[in-house]
Amino acid sequence: MPPEARIIKLGASMIEDILAIERVSFSSPWPREIFAAELGHSHSLALGADWEGRGGCLAAYIFLWLIADEAQIHTVAVHPALRGKGVASYLLKFSLRCARFRGARWASLEVRGSNSAARRLYEKLGFKLVGRRPAYYRDPSEDALLMNGCLGKM
């Protein structure tokens, strides 16, 4: 992990920080209501990276659900000023270890086909392409690539 970062559990008081990263990261950002629901859901694991270089502000977040033996990654984002510094990699690895500790054996996610940086990261962590959802994303319209990974191999 980068020495300036630490993993934190996300709470409702952090929604504004989450939304700020969301808005600069995605062309179709999730609304406040979805994050509020995610934070309150019993299956949800919501973690962030607090970054000292941003005055202790939120640098990144991940939301995933733990259902039976699967960790479903719903969203991951890193503030643009901190991309390429290893924050996403560390946050993903930490989250997947937590999921494995809680009984998950597999992880799944969807990613835009054009998001080559995210795809490279997921592949580096052991995720494999297993399918495609046509026109899943909007603004712009794009297929989602489905990826799965075995947590025992990550």
Q: For 80-133, how does the pLDDT look when each residue is reduced to its tens digit (9 = 90+)? A: 988 988 889 999 999 999 999 999 999 999 999 999 999 999 999 999 999 999
The residues that bridge with 71 in the sheet, in sequence order, are 66, 107
Across all residues in the chain, what is the average pLDDT?
A: 92
pLDDT at 3: 56
Active site residue 122: yes
Judged on CB neighbours under 10 Å (0-12, 13-18, 19+), 94 is middle
Q: Which of 22, 38, 61, 110 is catalytic?
A: 110
pLDDT at 45: 96
Q: Which of 38, 122, 123, 137 is catalytic?
A: 122
41 has a pLDDT exceeding 60: yes
Mean pLDDT of 47-75: 88
Active site residue 70: no
4 has a pLDDT exceeding 90: no
Mean pLDDT of 4-11: 86
The rounded distance, in Å, linking the Cα atoms of 39 and 54 is 23
List, in order of start, the domains of the chain with CATH numbers.
5-153 (3.40.630.30)
pTM above 0.75, yes or no: yes
Mean pLDDT of 3-16: 87
